[in-house]
Chain A
């Protein structure tokens, strides 16, 4: 299957700093990538939909100025958590979508664990 990578896989930062997470589709082009957040023992919550060459669409309750998304190419989307605070500590997962005639295939990255001290 298609491979999606994320970098870094784990990051610890001080409160107030900004953290950038990269999501790459390694062997396919993805016009759409999704960013999810997952708190411990909870399900994935969609944060935003990232379309190549256009502004991201954010879900209700997600601050676009705090979670900056850039989808500069068909293989790369970045999520920047600006002025991170301890409550932003979470597992951030991206996915890349390939739409076929029969189904909506999303391939997930391995996730990035963010810990804000």
Chain B
């Protein structure tokens, strides 16, 4: 079946550097993508989303890029802080599949002080 996956299971960055977390998806019909942050022992927290008719969306310190040609999604975190340390999941939504979310495997971001 189709799925969402991640390239890197663990990403270690220095505090203050920029972080890039990648995600590959295989369902070309997915119309909506979301990035979630999950801290240990907690539920996922919404970070930013993007619809399939957009290439880029910016939030506070975060940017999501969508490349539909290669079915790739990335999350960029500017000036990474220790509080950004968590597991990050991308999720895809396909409206014709009942608007359910399919989650990728997750990337653990570790920020070194």
Contacts and interface: CB of A to CB of B under 8 A. Distances in A.
A104 B45 contact: no
A103 B45 contact: no
Given A43-B106, A110-B42, A103 B51 contact: yes
A11 interface: no
A49 interface: yes
Nearest to A99: B99
Interface string B74-107: 0000000000000001000101001111111110
Interface in A85-113: 91, 93, 95, 97, 99, 102-111, 113
A46 interface: yes
A108 B37 CA distance: 11
Contacts of A67: none
Contacts, number: 51
Interface string B38-62: 0001111110010100000000000
A90 to B, nearest CB: 13
A111 B41 contact: yes
B32 A93 contact: no
Given A97-B99, A104-B99, A43 B104 contact: yes
A110 B105 contact: no
Given A43-B106, A103-B49, A109 B99 contact: no
A102 B49 CA distance: 11
Contacts of A111: 41-43
Contacts of B45: 108
Given A43-B103, A43-B104, A104-B101, A1 B46 contact: yes
A49 to B, nearest CB: 7
A111 B39 CA distance: 11
B36 to A, nearest CB: 8
B98 A49 contact: yes
